[in-house]
Structure 1
Amino acid sequence: MKMDRAELEAFLDTEFPQMRSMQYRIESWDGRLLRMAMPVGEQNLRPGGTVSGPTMMAMADCAAYLLILGLIGPVALAVTTNLNINFLRKPGLDDLIAEATMLKLGKSLAICEIALHSAGQDAGPVAHAVLTYAIPPASPPAAKPA
């Protein structure tokens, strides 16, 4: 584990202060499983009174990003190259929970699996996502002055 929970939270606050409006919180990070939660509010709902797909996709993307950074360190320019999500059942209006695990971590690509749950529902995941991230090459060390 390259970054702990506090370091990930500080990184998100510094690099993505606009994400504060989503009220994401990291509930746990043990070097294998990253668990996040987000309160569901009126701004997250679509017609029919259910959590919108874009809300769930954004949470899956953020969970994958933080999982990757937790494993490789603060690489701000790691970017999503693919997001595939299956919506499985109607989420409740309680907190949305994301559980992120790594499927494959290579030098230039990472593939993560995210299970999204509704707090208080025991029916299983409300959505399942697989995300691929491109990891930029490490910068070569700076040249020493002659």
Structure 2
Amino acid sequence: MDMAMDAQALNTFLATDFAQVASQYRVESAARDRLVARLLVGDQHLRPGGTVSGPSIFALADVAIYCAILSRIGPVALAVTTNASIDFMRKPEAGRDLLAECRVLKLGRSLAVAEALIFSEGAAQPVARCSMTYSIPSKKQENSAL
């Protein structure tokens, strides 16, 4: 299957359909086997002690995996997370954006499974690992909801 959306199309989709958070995230690259997304870390993402909060790391993983799936299936706004598991492995480095490197492991008609490794920019060791399953609505479900 060819790519349905490249990084520019994904960023445009986020800006249009998820304007409330789009300024915090950017898809850096999208290829068939890998997508990289960035959390533009700001004060709103920090917890006491100056580290990036767990919910912010989880949100990056969710946005990045969602975009990795859309890169393959196209702009399906109603695809939703049905299962998620995250391991927080080390403290993110202060003052750096976070990057999520994602792979789609299985892409079916109604479910997609993907994983993301989250890194502090420039660091070799991941700060978190996340796996997620997404439910993909049928074309009929997507069209009736719009």
Q: Structure 1 length normalisation: TM-score?
A: 0.90
Distance 1:41 1:118 in 2: 14
**Residue number in structure 2 paired with 1:54:** 55
Confirm whether residue 111 of structure 1 aligns to residue 113 of structure 2: yes
After TM superposition, list the pairs within 5 Å mapping 1:14-93 onto structure 2. 14-22=16-24, 24-93=25-94
Contact 2:15/2:23 (<8 A) preserved = no
Determine what percentage of the aligned residue pairs are the same residue.
52
SS in structure 2 opposite 1:55? helix
Distance 1:4 1:119 in 2: 22
Confirm whether residue 4 of structure 1 aligns to residue 11 of structure 2: no
AA aligned to 2:14 is L
Larger Rg, first or second structure (1 or 2): 1
Q: Structure 2 length normalisation: TM-score?
A: 0.90
Distance 1:111 1:92 in 2: 28
Measured after TM superposition, the shift of residue 16 of structure 1 is 0.6
AA aligned to 1:8 is L
Q: Unaligned 5+ residue runs, structure 2?
A: none
SS in structure 2 opposite 1:139? helix
Measured after TM superposition, the shift of residue 120 of structure 1 is 2.4
Residue by residue, what CA displacement relative to the aligned partner does 1:6-34 show, whole Å, maximum 9, x if unpaired? 11111111111111342x11111112211
Q: Unaligned 5+ residue runs, structure 1?
A: none
Question: What is the root-mean-square deviation of aligned Cα atoms in Å?
Answer: 1.5
SS in structure 1 opposite 2:71? helix
**Residue number in structure 2 paired with 1:127:** 128
AA aligned to 1:119 is E
